[in-house]
Structure 1
């Protein structure tokens, strides 16, 4: 079972993402709604992939994304920011605009699974 970190500060969206991941056979790590919590989980937990909102109430998730990438963990941004530029090595990360469909989530999870093989 894949372990997926969910970083989302809107409670209802976090719960929806958590339920959808569980329905797709994943174990959710988090969800983390605060930057410090996300950083802690990203640096310490066994994770197979991460779904990150770009903007949290107390900052962005770019540092968390960098920690995950340094660990070789694939990431995808799930955000309402269609046009916000992603810095440096994050620019190539997949980005899906909220609300994401189940098909989009399956595609992201399949990409994560492919990196584990």
Structure 2
């Protein structure tokens, strides 16, 4: 990679962020799988499937974009440029919030 060697603390922080996105992706995958096997008495089948698919898709997006984001940040650090905006965070945050709100509403309606 071209440019100057950045402060190791920034490089290591960037690496920790990458690993956190990978961990988040694994957690979202586990949540999607767990949602897919929730008993039929909790949600109707199409809702379980929808929530599971959304969680697994969010996991795939988080995993697929973690490395390119790491490279963009590393390149910006080496070139002493502004860091790129966190495009992935809002999508994952809103996606998980949407799944949680929908699940909460359906749980409350089923009681």
Higher RCO, 1 vs 2 (CA within 8 Å, ≥6 residues apart): 2
Q: TM-score, normalised by structure 1?
A: 0.29
Structure 1 or 2, whichever has the larger Rg, is 2
Structure with more of its chain in strand, by fraction:
1
Q: TM-score, normalised by structure 2?
A: 0.30
Structure with more of its chain in helix, by fraction:
2
